[in-house]
Structure 1
Amino acid sequence: MIDFLIIGGGIAGVSAAARLAPFGKAVVLEKESALGYHASGRSAAMFEQNYGSASTVDLSRASAVFFETEDGGFLSPRGVMFLSKRGDTESFQACCEKYEAATIDLDEALNRVPVLRRDMLGHAAIHEAGRDIDTDRLLQWCAKTCRAHNGEIHTGQLVTGITRIESGWRVTTKDNSYTCKLIFNAAGAWADQVAALAGISPLGITPLRRSMARVPAPGGHDVSRWPMLLDIHEKWYAKPDAGSLIISPAEEDPMPPFDAWPDDMVLAEGIARYQEFVTEEVTRLEASWAGLRSFAPDRNLALGPDAHDPNFIWVAAQGGYGFQTAPAASQLIADIVMGRQSDLGDNTLKSLDPRRFS
């Protein structure tokens, strides 16, 4: 009998497995051939702890110590530069307040990112505490930690059936059958579908597509020390990546759960918005892709037992915050299962509790 059966091998699932494995037999089932295939493998890999709803910010801040200290740390310097057009002073000030960003003059902004257009910029600010996450190493650390406590991770295991039995659950895949005490639904964009297989009411989780394109470094510049660039209205962002630049239109288009791909027109529109702020034209793409960021109706994560069956535990609705909240989110799941008091505040716990939808 498996103690903890986790459906989904993205960062939500494997981080939960890493936290739970010391307390019982943990098994992760991932339908794809590798971990982190969908949203986790298409992340912007940024730790910006002021990004998201109030409960998401609390989770991110509670994750900071782990990111900075565990296994030598998973963060590296980047910074986030917020940009606005001329005349957009009120929105810029609100953005600076939200992100605790420091205003910089345009000379400094151009010194740090020389392709910015002075004639377009109205304001710039920097939040130096925004940092890159080594997402691949974090995913592998979680998997290694799970296995070190005799946990198991099985890929290529699409769940086809979930049945309630007296001792817990029977979960079937094409090739295998598993019996477990607790199910952890970390299926990302497919979380509501997994719930339906178990006879659990869906939460109304909506997958939203976000597209990205990798383009050559603008003007041949060394972009390695550039900050992430973010339009204050989040109509686009750009981030250095392996000597190139990733640009996203930051769209949120509702989609059914599927292996997402980018819409060429949406990408073109986003790149056009980015190009309003820079002197260098994008003439070709090196690659493009899309991921699904899955949100509950109130845009808070869903972490904890289902309202009607406490043996079915949601680890879902991470939106675009899965990596940066994973340490604290997985700790909360372990605390709930082991009956320990969480360090998170009461308002945050209420905001994250899936029973809020009951």
Structure 2
Amino acid sequence: MSRFDIVIIGAGIAGASLAAEVAPHASVLMLEAEDQPGYHATGRSAAFWSETYGGPLIQPLTSASGPWLQDHGLLTPRGELYLARASEWGEVERMMAAFNGRVVMERWSVEQARRWLPGLSNDFAEALWMPSCTDIDVAGAHQLFLKGARQAGAELRCGAPLERAERMGSGWRLVAGGPVIEAGVLVSAAGAWADQVAALAGVPPIGIQPYRRTVVQLEVDPPAPADLPLVMAMDGSFYFKPEAGGRLWLSPHDETPDSPCDAAADELDVAVAIDRFEKAARWPIRRVERRWAGLRSFAPDRLPVYGFDPLEPRFFWCAAQGGFGIQTAPAAAKMAAALLLGRQVAEIDPAPYLPDRFRNGGSR
């Protein structure tokens, strides 16, 4: 039997970043169900850092994460262009007001947008330009967190899905494909499986729902310029960005409810993505080279969940990061680690993200 202060279920970006923060102060074990960490959502990210993505309550975590990502050479300038139809004038106004003074935005005419997209449909009437958006080296960030955790003494066991979690006086007795493990605190950082981990531990689920997100890689003619920005539809119906070799990564921005699984792209979602792209821009597609899907998991209020469960003080949530888990990981891990270690949270108010909101007459 082995004993750890903290056992983290999941070694994707959420679990790895948290382990890197707490391992210098406690004994830590990461249990990863797959044969390699980051196989699911972390390894299937569209790899961009956008200060507006996820909304105003996610922006503080994203903005606070930028300096760490930049200092470690993980960000590459990209820029972001939101396309709006005439009927979406109100949405443009609301977005500018929501991030006023916190994110740099420029209102562009459709003619300015056509400097990037000459074949842009006449359906669009204006655009919003956000220069702070960048690409993220997702694999690089994940490996840095894993390396930091390992160097601080954390242990990683892959191919070790949690099978049983029993509450004992001072913590937990866990079974995960090997000898019994004792833990002081059990952390659910299992992405789409976060509620399942809670259920194994006898903790009421929060209602975290996985949603499938589809991405396709296109060969287009002419090839996509390397400096093309991330292009988003204001109504959330698509986004695309350039990839190496003049390719495009295109998503229909789908959110299809799913169960925790090894997600795969559905052909209908691929067809929807291509149809929306062809209606938005006259840009011939030569062929679809690849297609894949990942699961983005949301709590009922679409905010992440960080903190001890008020119904079980030895169970900690680090879950429901939606599609913004990677871009917020550095700041979110620091905040979560402070909560986990019983320390004062420095930069960001954790109140919107605490699991208390789903208990004791909260929003659940």
Structure-2-length-normalised TM-score: 0.92
Alignment pair present for 1:357 and 2:358 = yes
Q: Secondary structure at the match of 1:123?
A: strand
Write the letter of the residue equivalent to 1:26. V
Measure how far apart 1:272 and its partner are.
Answer: 0.9
Code of the aligned partner of 2:93: Q
Residue ranges of structure 2 left out of the alignment (5+ in a row):
360-364
Whether the aligned pair in 2 keeps the contact of 1:171 and 1:177 (CA below 8 Å) is yes
Structure 2 residue corresponding to 1:104, chosen from 86, 104, 108: 108
Change (3 A) 1:345 1:27: closer
Q: Unpaired runs of 5+ in structure 1? A: none
Map residues 234-249 of structure 1 onto 2, 5 A cutoff.
234-243=236-245, 244-249=247-252
Report if the CA contact (8 A) 1:58-1:344 is conserved. no
Does 2:260 align with 1:257?
yes
> Could you say which residue in structure 2 is the equivalent of 1:91?
91
Which has the larger displacement, 106-115 or 318-327? Answer: 106-115
**1:15 matched residue in structure 2:** 17
Partners of 2:84 and 2:224 lie apart in 1 by 24
Residue matched to 2:68: 66
Aligned counterparts, 1:208-357, within 5 A: 208-216=211-219, 218-243=220-245, 244-346=247-349, 349-357=350-358
Work out the CA distance in 2 between the residues paired with 1:177 and 1:223.
Answer: 54
Q: How does 1:28-43 map to 2 (within 5 A)?
A: 28-43=30-45
Offset at residue 293 of structure 1 (A):
0.7
How far 1:320 sits from its partner (Å)? 0.7
Separation in 2 of the partners of 1:50 and 1:149?
Answer: 33
| 1:177 and 2:143 correspond | no
- Structure 2 residue identity aligned to 1:83: L
Identity %: 37
How far apart are residue 115 of structure 1 and its match? 4.0
- The one of 120, 128, 134 equivalent to 1:116 is 120
Q: 1:304 Cα deviation (Å)?
A: 0.5
RMSD, aligned α-carbons: 1.7
The TM-score normalised by the length of structure 1 is 0.94
Matches within 5 A, 1:150-229: 150-216=153-219, 218-229=220-231
Aligned 8 A contact 2:224 2:242 in 1:
no
CA contact (8 A) 2:10 2:190 kept: yes
Give the Cα separation in 2 of the matches to 1:275 and 1:300: 33
Deviation at 1:260, TM superposition (A): 0.8
Q: Deviations over 1:37-89 (max 9, x none)?
A: 111111111111122243311211221222222x3x32110011111234533
Letter matched to residue 9 of structure 1: A
Which residue identity is paired with 1:224?
A
Between the aligned partners of 2:284 and 2:86, the Cα distance in structure 1 is 21
Letter of the structure 1 residue corresponding to residue 109 of structure 2: D
Partner residue in 1 for 2:5: 3
Using the TM superposition, give the Cα deviation of residue 15 of structure 1 relative to its aligned residue in structure 2, in angstroms: 0.3
Q: Is the 8 A contact 2:117 2:281 kept in 1?
A: no
Query: Which amino acid in structure 1 is aligned with residue 143 of structure 2?
Result: Q
Matched letter for residue 27 of structure 2: K
Give secondary structure in 2 for the equivalent of 1:22: coil
- Contact 2:221–2:286, Cα closer than 8 Å, also in 1: no
TM-fit CA distance, 1:345: 4.8
Give, in angstroms, the shift of residue 108 of structure 1. 3.1
Alignment check: 8 A CA contact 2:335 2:348 kept: no
Is contact 1:168-1:179 (8 Å) kept? yes
